[in-house]
Structure 1
Amino acid sequence: MARTTTRKKPQRRTWGTLRTLPSGNIRASYTADDGCVYFATRTFDSKIDAEGWLAHERRLLDRGEWTSPQTRAALKKSAGMTLREYAWRWMDAEYRLESQILNDRPLRPKTHALYTRLLDSRILPDLGDELLTAITPERVNKWWGWLGGEYSTPTSNAQAYQLLKAIYSTAVEERAARENPCQHKKAGKPPRPRDVQPLTPAELVKVAESVPEHYRAAVAVAAWCGLRFGELIELRRKDVHTAGERMTLSISRAATTVTTRGKSTLEVGPPKTDAGIRDVTVPPHVAEILRAHMKAHTGKGPESLVFTTTRGLRLSQTAFTKSVKNGFASVGKPKMRVHDLRHVGATLAAHAGATTKELMSRIGHTTPAMSMRYQIAAQERDILIADKLSELAKG
């Protein structure tokens, strides 16, 4: 007569549950004070071992020392890991893609280079060899004090603190650390940004006229359309769209120089933020300038760069900056930077009546979620803003 096997029911207990698995091993679980069911991170060979585990969990709860078994297992696994080891793992592209917590694309090249510099120079020399789980708020405060005395660079120091805090935020979520030791309320706040000197439309014209002829359209587009320099030098003929007299720029890439440990490379990728992927309507008076420039200086192919050197090469930031700085000096504002042209564009758009949301869409300076919310509604309004910008230029 064939034998039949029946699945054993969980054994009833005053607290906790034991279930015998088909393998003969025993799985233990219990309901904690938070109402959630927690399982042992392993099975047991004998009932007495499983009961011992439940008794230990009960004592932890009674003494107020309880954390979940999964949290304790993660902490045990990371107990021998230094901050240096965890930080470089946090930076690793493959790890970021596989991590359930980060679940994100790899860091952009320029961001990766910045974080590498901050880790190498400011974080790891003092904290790198200490255990990830051993660094306390008091230790971080001591490091923050050392940082201010060692480096008179408030912005980079603030970035370093923010980076350390971000690394520990992930560690806490991954249960590799119990708490985030970056708890200083005033640390990590960047200094107040310097005030950008505004340019009037007349001054902007004078700046453009003072640079070499093949740079003039680039100055106009950077200012009136609010492009970042990396977006400007990666703009190609295929990105310039015309419909009658109307012109639109599709911004989806940027070129940036990335310097990591003394080695510089040019990287082409998405703009600085996800919101940087946008369409910008060109003010009519700038469209005229750009059409003339492209006719004279831009290759015919769709991949041809719109702005180049006289030899057809990609614009050099050094040469372009030198020329534009001379232009700023010609209007009595020698401290302005090339990037300030972008701020000028935002200011002029605001004068033309753009709302904060419309500026976020036009300039591409926002979070991805905000961009999705604002961009669709702002596209039609952007045409009106562009028209008003030309009216502003004409006085």
Structure 2
Amino acid sequence: MAKRKRRETFGALRKLPSGRYQASYVGPDGVRHNAPQTFDNMTDARGWLAGQQTKILSESWSPQETRAVEQARLGRTETFADYAETWISTRTNRFGEHLRPRTATEYRRLVKGPLGQFAGARLSAIASEDVRSWYSALISAGTKTQAARAYELLKSILATAVADGRIKLNPCQIRGAASASTGKKTTPPVAADLQKMADAMPENLKAAIMLAAWTGVRFGELTELRRKDIEVVGEGDGTTIVVNVSRGVTHVTGQGFVVGPTKSEAGVRSIVLPPHVNGVVIGHLKDHVTRFPDSLLFPAADGHTHLAYSTFYRHWDAARRAAKRPDLPLHGLRHYGATRAAVAGATLKELQTRLGHSTVAAAMRYQHTAGRDEELARRMSELA
């Protein structure tokens, strides 16, 4: 049995059963560090401690170098992939919550995919020129959006590594890399396009197109809507329908469908449906949804499990082609609803609330659409 540690003016010594001495100290990082080897006598052990104290006092002590020596002693080297996995597993948001399952899965995909070049590298071995070369290759291949996401993740992980004292500087120093885009703009459909797409969908999914377009809900929010989330007030021409959004569903590899909170706290919202869409929704509730409060509005073929995106996409792709809009992504329907609200005169705050955005930055995009500009120009002409 090793004897208890001897108190020293700096650090601690412990005599091992073998008769040799082990030295350790608590560094500026608040972590106890052991000497990479044991010593024949107490004098040598104290000499090593004195050397470490001198480094600390002269500010030449480095947590990176210290950990590298310790890992080498243990016969292992921490790689970027190792550190990234720990980062993903322990990462929390500003509310103290762990990453959503879908987000964690996506981050792991990026680490294994676009960031795979760095997987086996030591954190300290990733240099700025390596990052620039890697990023340049990605955008040259035409994957600008994915490059931006991967770069943003790499930068965030390495920023934490700097804070943890694993590396001295973050090698991700490319200005604007995290916000790069393909430059492609989504042209929202016009009313005639929307109607053609709805008509081309199966009967049980026509209302899904109209709800996605006129409420701006995300796909995961749309496919988690249940009868209890649709509030019908009044009758006849005085009917008001409110769509209450409080949950979303995602499909996680290995876990299946996972129901959880909306993308952000702002995602919990109540959206009043434009009256001209009331009939479509009421008809859908009557013909395709059971009377149980928890019944899904748009379930899979079995009637009770969530609708997979791949299943919906087959019908959606045929519908957009029928409307001669094969370029339109499903997100274009959300864009449509936001644009219509902006043209109708919605303020930034109203758009932010309706779409469930945490900030007004995204809502601002819809205040500067072509439709909005045309409406403003028409009103300016009337004033003249």
TM-score by length of 2: 0.71
The one-letter code of the counterpart of 2:280 is: I
After alignment, is 114-123 or 187-196 more displaced? 187-196
Q: CA deviation at 1:238?
A: 1.6
Instruction: Specify the alignment match of 1:281 in structure 2.
Output: 272
Cα deviation 1:9-51 (Å, max 9, x = unaligned):
xxxxxxxxxxxxxx994667xxxxxxxxx798679x99x9898
Number of equivalenced pairs: 324
What corresponds to 2:149 in structure 1?
A: 159
Q: Corresponding residue for 1:338?
A: 330
Alpha-carbon distance in 2 for matches of 1:237, 1:315: 15
**3-state SS of the aligned residue for 2:271?**
strand
- Written as runs of structure 1 = structure 2, the 5 A alignment for 1:214-253 is 214-244=204-234, 245-253=239-247
AA aligned opposite 1:350 = A
Give the CA deviation at 1:193. 4.7
Task: Note the C-alpha offset of 1:231.
Answer: 1.0
State the match for 1:200 in structure 2.
190
In the alignment, which residue of structure 1 is the partner of 2:352? 360
Q: Give the deviation of 1:78 after TM superposition.
A: 7.4
1:236 deviates by: 0.6
Contact 1:223 1:341 in 2 (8 A): yes
Shift of 1:357: 2.4
Quick check: 2:145–2:182 contact (8 Å CA) kept in 1? no
Output aligned runs, 1:141-152, within 5 Å.
Answer: 141-148=132-139, 151-152=141-142
**Distance in structure 1 (CA, Å) of the matches to 2:193 and 2:163:** 52
Residues 27 and 269 from structure 1, CA distance in 2 versus in 1: closer, same or farther, beyond 3 angstroms? Answer: farther
Cα root mean square deviation, aligned: 3.7
Residue aligning to 1:86: 83
- Give % identity: 35
Q: CA deviation at 1:57?
A: 4.1
Query: Matches of residues 293-372 of structure 1 in structure 2 within 5 Å?
Result: 293-308=284-299, 312-313=303-304, 314-367=306-359
Equivalents in 1 of 2:245, 2:154: separation in Å? 32
**AA paired with 1:283?**
P
Deviation string, structure 1 residues 217-273 (Cα, Å, up to 9, x no partner): 1111110000111111110112122333322222122222334xxx68322222333
CA, structure 1 residues 147+355, in 2 after alignment: closer, same or farther (shift >3 Å)?
same
Residues 74 and 276 from structure 1, CA distance in 2 versus in 1: closer, same or farther, beyond 3 angstroms? farther
1:175 aligns with 2:192: no
Q: Distance in 1 between matches of 2:217 and 2:87?
A: 32
Aligned to 2:113: 121
Task: Verify: 1:256 aligned to 2:250, yes or no.
Answer: yes
Point out 4+ residue stretches in structure 1 off by more than 6 angstroms.
38-43, 48-54, 70-79
Deviates more, 1:196-205 or 1:227-236: 196-205
Secondary structure of the corresponding residue to residue 78 of structure 2: coil
C-alpha separation in 2, matches of 1:40 and 1:148: 41
Q: 158-167 or 246-255, which moves further after superposition?
A: 246-255
**Residues of 2 paired with 1:142 and 1:203: CA distance?**
44
C-alpha displacement of 1:178? 1.2
Bigger shift: residues 194-203 or 316-325: 316-325
Q: Please give the secondary structure, in 2, of the residue aligned with 1:337.
A: coil
- Partners in 1 of 2:29 and 2:132 — Cα distance? 38
1:186: how far off? 4.5
Structure 1 alignment gaps of length 5 or more: 1-22, 29-37, 375-395
Taking a change above 3 Å as real, the CA distance of residues 123 and 311 of structure 1, as seen in their structure-2 partners, is: closer
Secondary structure at 1:215 match in 2: helix
Q: 2:128 aligns with which of 127, 131, 137?
A: 137
The secondary structure found in structure 1 opposite 2:113 is helix
1:172 Cα offset (Å):
1.3
Tell whether the 8 Å contact from 2:243 to 2:271 is kept in structure 1 after alignment: yes
Q: What TM-score, normalized to structure 1?
A: 0.69
AA partner of residue 227 (structure 2):
R
Amino acid paired to 1:257: H
User: Counterpart in 1 of 2:99?
Assistant: 107
**Aligned with 2:177: secondary structure?**
coil
In structure 2, relative to structure 1, the CA distance for the partners of 1:323 and 1:177 (3 Å cut) is: same
Distance 1:176 1:204, change over 3 A: same
Q: Aligned AA for 1:83?
A: F
SS in 1 for 2:328: coil
Pair 1:117–1:42, CA change in 2 (3 A) = closer
**Any conservation in 2 of the 1:309–1:315 contact (CA below 8 Å)?**
yes
1:46-85 counterparts in 2 under 5 A? 56-58=55-57, 60=58, 65=60, 80-85=77-82
Query: Residues 309, 162 of structure 1: CA spacing in aligned structure 2 closer, same or farther, 3 A cutoff?
Result: closer
- Specify every segment of 5 or more residues in structure 2 that has no aligned partner in the other structure, as ranges: 11-27, 34-41, 364-384
- Residues in 1 aligned to 2:302 and 2:32: alpha-carbon distance in whole angstroms: 68
